Amino acid sequence: MSKNWASSLLFKKSSESTTVINIGNYYLKGLLVKGNTITDYFLEKNTNLSETLKKVWEEKKMSSDKVKLSLKSPACLVRYFPFPKMDKKKLHQALFFEMNKFIPFSPEEVYFDYSVLKDSGPNQLTILLAVAKKDLVDNILAVFRQMNVRISEITLDSICLVNLFLANNTESQSSNNCILDIGYKFSTMTIINKGVPFLTRDVKLNTKDIFQIISRIKDIPIDSVNNWLSSLKTSEEFLELSQDSISNLCKEMKNSFDYFEVNSGEHINKLYLTGGLSCVKNISRPFNEYLDTDVDILVTFPKDKSGLGPVFSEEKFASLKNSFAVSFGLIS
């Protein structure tokens, strides 16, 4: 059973030199890979994708091709469901015609890919379906095309995080876990049932909402909240100001936990936090209190750290590393 569940929405080609880019709602994050070594990284505000890419390309002197992308957007979805067993060609066609049962978009609106997660019986498969709306993908590809950059793979953030988690946690095959990716504009949770993804869904809490609350209470511009947070000697004031938001998120997550428990007859053993906000000290504490489950920070680095260049041991990267889980998952 493959760990790279749905490796691409378009096409894929292996290479010795690769650039992986996570196109976030607030930041553009990426890693540069040469041979078997991850040599460098970049993190830039994504105010204008075309301008940001050109800046990164010039500063990092990057190759003009062999680029892999990961996306996170309401226009991207991952679904898991049982489906009748059939040969590969018929399965692709059948999924296209049956897709509107599983997603709120018409099949003609999206690019899609799928992976068979497991054989569920003599006549049934469990399918992972990944979709992205064509207008989103085409607009992004147009920006790269203007730079004469060819994209070799497009995938989704939640899939990258599952790949990274499974690569670093061999014991996950015997436990039930949840990954919460706290994004700037929206967040996504994925429940993994003994090594197999069970549920992926967007949740309401996001970093921007918390920053807006702090901006209002502290009377500072929202763009300055991150600097205010960095200046704190402890995280207690931040946790106090964000406790209502985290409490509401946990209530929403608890509904998904209950859904999993009803359908599987099992409990969630551990919650893993990732995304920029997971860098906040003690951020796991309120989640532990509200959800009454073990909470940890998702390990960002690949299990084999021998392939990391010296730049990743620097103090500067240490403060940013939780923002790069998707990027590392894209190459895991």
Residues 13/32, Cβ–Cβ less than 8 Å: no
Question: Residue 268 contacts by C-beta under 8 Å, 6 or more apart in sequence?
Answer: 176, 177, 178, 191, 257, 260, 261, 293
**Around Cβ 11, how many Cβ atoms within 10 Å?**
10
The one-letter amino acid code at 262 reads: V
Task: Classify residue 174: in a domain, yes or no.
Answer: yes
Residue burial 305-328, b: 16+ Cβ < 10 Å; e: rest: eeebeeebeeeebeebbbbbbbbb
Determine the pLDDT at residue 64: 58
Based on the structure, what is the number of domains in the chain? Answer: 1
Order of strands across the sheet that contains 27-34: 37-45, 27-34, 17-23, 67-71, 151-156
pTM of the model: 0.92
Determine the pLDDT at residue 251: 95
Determine the pLDDT at residue 16: 67
**CATH at 268:** 3.30.420.40
Hey, which residues does 28 pair with through a beta bridge?
Answer: 23, 44
Residues 260/199, Cβ–Cβ less than 8 Å: yes
Task: Classify residue 56: in a domain, yes or no.
Answer: no
Residues 195/171, Cβ–Cβ less than 8 Å: no
Determine the pLDDT at residue 65: 61
Task: Classify residue 198: in a domain, yes or no.
Answer: yes
User: Can you give the pLDDT of all 332 residues of the chain as single tens digits?
Assistant: 334 445 444 434 444 688 999 998 889 999 999 888 899 999 999 989 999 999 999 999 886 568 999 999 999 999 999 999 998 889 999 999 999 999 999 999 999 999 999 888 789 999 999 999 999 999 999 999 999 898 999 999 999 999 999 999 888 889 999 999 999 988 999 999 999 999 999 998 889 999 999 999 999 999 999 899 989 999 999 999 999 999 999 999 999 999 999 999 999 999 999 998 898 999 999 999 999 999 999 999 887 788 899 999 998 898 889 899 999 999 87
Best CA proximity match to 326, nearest among 184, 125, 204, 160? 160
Determine the pLDDT at residue 269: 96
- CA–CA gap between residue 172 and residue 189 (Å, rounded): 17
Task: Classify residue 148: in a domain, yes or no.
Answer: no
Best CA proximity match to 256, nearest among 291, 295, 306? 291
Task: Classify residue 262: in a domain, yes or no.
Answer: yes
In which domain, by residue range, is 177 found?
A: 170-298
Cα 323–chain centre separation: 10
Task: Classify residue 121: in a domain, yes or no.
Answer: no
Determine the pLDDT at residue 10: 42
Task: Classify residue 8: in a domain, yes or no.
Answer: no
Task: Classify residue 242: in a domain, yes or no.
Answer: yes
